[in-house]
Amino acid sequence: MLTETATANPARTKMFLDIPTAAELAGFSIRHFRRIIEEDRIPIVQIGRKFFILGRDFSSWESSKKTRRPA
């Protein structure tokens, strides 16, 4: 039972990316990435004074960008 729980936990862990980290991963400046968040309506979460993007939302945004790009 412990091995099943241990393997299931990483799938359930929520990953939060702060805006500067997400911008760096996407290859944009922070200012430009904030504009992308507004235009593409990427969901953000506010915790205290900081804003975060869920890892799954960032991944789905990235994959949607890859499918939109002409080959």
Structure confidence at residue 53 (pLDDT) = 96
Structure confidence at residue 14 (pLDDT) = 62
Q: How far is CA 21 from CA 5, 28, 50, 66, in A?
A: 30, 10, 13, 20
Structure confidence at residue 5 (pLDDT) = 47
pLDDT in tens, 46-59: 999 999 999 999 99
Q: Are 30 and 23 in contact (CB under 8 A)?
A: yes
State the pTM of this model. 0.70
Q: How far is CA 45 from CA 3, 8, 64, 69, in A?
A: 32, 24, 20, 27
Residues forming a β-bridge with 47: 50
53 by DSSP, 3-state: which? strand
The rounded average pLDDT for each run of 10 residues, N- to C-terminus, in the chain (71 residues) is 50 79 95 95 95 94 77 51
